[in-house]
């Protein structure tokens, strides 16, 4: 479970204080898949980094699985937008890297990494370097690396943002399948894509800019089991139309304030 | 390889990963470039020769006479002994500059405090022409191997330090964040991310430092009492033997090119994960 309480993050940017996120309250329940979506600059990535413990908020606390965090912890794992694999290490060593960081013995971590890679359909690529893999395959390694440490909370920062549309759809489906078979695991998923958020999440957290804040939290009104068929339903169209109107409104308002500023 | 920590991939496994191009593949696309380069060099020699026809032979000897003097030197045992004498302090100074410069560079790159403290000193020594220190070195160490090695060392060490330090600072921040998110400890952070991440800069530091060490070697031979290659140079200078003088200079250029090529080879080998066909 992830419990965010009154979190504010202020940076100093060119000597001017800049509030990335302000007074965020959000609880993501055990086993829940929550997407965080909003126009660029709404602080969604900052919020995810705060949950990951990579950034310390100026005010407020984050409680994960009952403990107030003050840095990264073994109950969380992060998947990065640009994969962030070690270019000099094999796919196997990359997938095992989280375990290595946590001091798991070599045989053990390789066994686990091999298992995770197999689940991601990467058997046979263990000895390749990341650059020899496509973007989609590289992100599969990134996901395998995160799942290898068996985190109860999976944090993903636009993990499919750098992939082409087709690869993206395939990855979404595979992630959902992995999700279904995993035991109760909590997910915070930052995305730009409305469809992706609707397809994957139990709840969608809409964030707005200047300062970054939560605008609305929306339950996805479709059962997760047959999400794949959801596209044909009229309800889906109505739901996405609503989501889109909210996002469009925020994006336009943000453009207007920027225009007024400059 | 030490950089890879505990990867135990065998050569056979590795070779399926990186396909090494065959010789003809490697040079096939390079042929026009090599041809242009060789042609340009030949044109330079011809231009020199045209000039030398009408110039004072003491100042500008014919290309052919330089070449035959060069070939003559290659068959002369004294020539090789001179190089052996010169290369000993070169190797000592070079090795010391690498060890000290790389270590110091890595430390400076990682610690902003040490960087702030060492920065002004490095800038000072970087701006200072090293040749001006030679008299002080003579007073301190005399003119033997220690003094000679010191000159070579001083010529190379600052560049090595600065290049290595900047490499560490440019290690991918995302990788460091990724390591931190998995709770990576200090030692592994260094061995698994910082060291391999700055491998390109370390290789560049070695290459640049080596070129500087070669310059230091020549300066050391000319400014200290000459015993090696410098002795050949001063002898041919004093005897107004221009062809042999130029032949020694030519040999130094060939030596520098050879060392430089060696370093580039090492640079490529040090980063097997880089796509060398790209």
| Domain extent listing, chain B | 78-271
Asked whether the beta carbons of residue B196 and residue A88 sit closer than 8 angstroms, the reply is yes
Q: What angle do CA B247, B248, B250 make, to 5 degrees?
A: 60
**pLDDT tens digit sequence for A91-105:** 899 988 988 888 888
Are B180 and A54 inside 8 Å of each other by CB? yes
**Residue among B79, B207, B226, B78 at smallest CA distance from B148:** B226
Q: By three-state DSSP, how is residue A80 classified? A: coil
Closest CA to A95 of B14, A17, A104: A104
pLDDT in tens, A134-191: 888 888 899 889 888 888 889 999 888 888 888 888 888 888 888 777 766 888 999 9
Asked if the model's pLDDT at residue B197 lies above 70, the reply is yes
pTM summary value: 0.75
pLDDT recorded at residue A155: 92
Is residue B5 scored above 60 in pLDDT?
Answer: no
Nearest CA in chain B to A101: B184
Q: From A142, which residue of chain B is nearest by alpha-carbon distance?
A: B178
The pLDDT assigned to B6 comes to 38
How high is the ipTM of this complex?
0.84
pLDDT of residue A82: 87
Q: Which fold has domain B78-271?
A: MetI-like fold (1.10.3720)
Predicted confidence at residue B115, as pLDDT, reads 84
How far, in Å, are A90, A95, A100, B40, B188 from residue B184 at the CA level? 18, 14, 8, 53, 6
Q: Which CATH architecture has domain A1-75+152-239?
A: 3-Layer(aba) Sandwich (3.40)
User: Mean pLDDT, to the nearest integer, of B198-216?
Assistant: 88
End-to-end CA distance of chain A: 42
Residue A122 contacts residue A171 (beta carbons within 8 Å): no
Q: What is the pLDDT of residue A36?
A: 92
Compare CB distances from B178 to A80, A87, A149 and report the shortest one's residue.
Answer: A80
pLDDT bucket at B257, cuts 50 / 70 / 90 = confident
Task: Show Cβ contacts of residue A190 under 8 Å, excluding neighbours closer than 6 positions.
Answer: A35, A36, A37, A44, A45, A47, A48, A156, A157, A158
Q: Looking at the complex, report in whole angstroms how far the Cα of residue B15 sits from the nearest Cα belonging to chain A.
A: 10
Q: Which residues of B touch A87 (CB under 8 A)?
A: 273-274
Is B199 an interface residue toward A (CB < 8 Å)? yes
CA-CA distance, B119 to B106, in Å (whole number)?
14
Q: Where residue B272 falls among pLDDT bands split at 50, 70, 90?
A: low
pLDDT of B9 > 60? The answer is no
Q: Which of A78, A88, A127 sits opposite B273 (nearest CB)?
A: A88
- Please write the tens of the pLDDT for every residue from A64-75: 888 888 888 888
Nearest to B273 among A52, A54, A87 (CB): A87
| C-alpha of A33 from chain center | 10
Q: State whether the Cα torsion B25-B30-B32-B37 is positive or negative.
A: negative
User: Distance (Å) from the C-alpha of residue B105 to the closest C-alpha of chain A?
Assistant: 21
The residue of chain A with its CA nearest to that of B195 is A88
A·B CB contacts under 8 A: 71
Identify the closest residue of chain A to B179 by CA–CA distance. Answer: A101
CA B36: distance to chain centroid?
25
What does B8-37 look like in DSSP terms, one character per residue?
---HHHHHHHS-PPPHHHHHHTTHHHHHHH
Domain ranges, ordered by start, for chain A: 1-75+152-239, 87-150
Q: What is the pLDDT of residues A22-60, one digit of tens each?
A: 888 888 888 888 999 988 778 888 889 999 888 888 888
């Amino acid at each position: 479970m992830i419990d965010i309480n009154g979190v504010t993050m202020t940076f100093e940017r060119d000597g001017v204080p800049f509030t990335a996120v302000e007074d965020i309250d959000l609880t993501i329940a055990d086993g829940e898949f929550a997407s965080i979506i909003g126009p660029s600059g709404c602080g969604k990535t900052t919020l995810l980094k705060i949950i990951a413990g990579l950034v310390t908020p100026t005010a407020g606390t984050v409680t994960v699985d009952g403990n107030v965090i003050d840095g990264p912890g073994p109950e969380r794992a992060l998947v990065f937008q640009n994969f962030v694999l070690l270019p000099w290490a094999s796919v196997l060593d990359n997938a095992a890297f989280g375990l290595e960081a946590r001091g798991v013995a070599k045989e053990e971590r390789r066994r686990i990494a091999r298992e995770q890679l197999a689940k991601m359909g990467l058997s046979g690529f263990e000895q390749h370097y990341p650059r020899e893999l496509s973007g989609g395959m590289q992100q599969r390694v990134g996901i395998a690396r995160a799942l290898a440490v068996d985190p109860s909370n999976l944090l993903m920062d636009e993990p499919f943002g750098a992939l082409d549309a087709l690869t993206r759809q395939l990855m979404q489906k595979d992630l959902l399948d992995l999700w279904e078979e995993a035991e109760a695991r909590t997910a915070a998923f930052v995305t730009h894509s409305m469809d992706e958020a609707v397809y994957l999440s139990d709840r969608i957290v809409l964030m707005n800019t200047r300062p970054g804040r939560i605008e609305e939290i929306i339950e996805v009104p479709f059962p997760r089991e047959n999400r794949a068929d959801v596209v044909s339903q009229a309800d889906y169209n109505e739901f996405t139309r609503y989501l889109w109107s909210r996002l469009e409104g925020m994006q336009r308002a943000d453009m207007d304030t920027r225009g007024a500023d400059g | 390889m030490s950089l890879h920590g505990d990867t135990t991939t065998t050569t056979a496994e590795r070779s399926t990963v990186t396909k090494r191009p065959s010789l003809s593949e490697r040079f096939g696309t390079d042929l026009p470039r090599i041809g242009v380069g060789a042609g340009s060099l030949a044109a330079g020699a011809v231009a020199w020769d045209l000039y030398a026809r009408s110039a004072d032979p003491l100042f500008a000897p014919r290309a052919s006479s330089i070449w035959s003097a060069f070939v003559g030197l290659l068959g002369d045992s004294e020539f090789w002994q001179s190089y052996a004498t010169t290369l000993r302090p070169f190797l000592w100074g070079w090795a010391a500059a690498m060890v000290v410069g790389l270590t110091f560079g890595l430390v400076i790159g990682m610690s902003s405090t040490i960087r702030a403290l060492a920065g002004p000193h490095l800038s000072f020594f970087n701006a200072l022409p090293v040749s001006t220190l030679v008299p002080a070195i003579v007073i301190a160490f005399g003119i033997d191997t220690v003094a000679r090695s010191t000159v070579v060392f001083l010529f190379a060490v600052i560049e090595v330090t600065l290049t290595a330090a900047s490499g560490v600072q440019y290690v991918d921040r995302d990788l460091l964040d990724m390591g931190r998110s998995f709770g990576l400890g200090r030692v592994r952070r260094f061995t698994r991310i910082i060291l391999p991440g700055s491998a390109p800069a370390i290789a560049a530091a070695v290459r640049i430092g080596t070129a500087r060490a070669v310059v230091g070697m020549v300066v050391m031979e000319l400014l200290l009492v000459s015993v090696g290659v410098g002795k050949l140079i001063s002898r041919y200078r004093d005897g107004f033997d221009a062809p042999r003088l130029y032949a020694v200079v030519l040999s130094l250029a060939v030596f520098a090119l050879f060392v430089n090529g060696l370093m580039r080879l090492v640079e490529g080998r040090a980063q097997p994960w880089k796509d060398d066909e790209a």
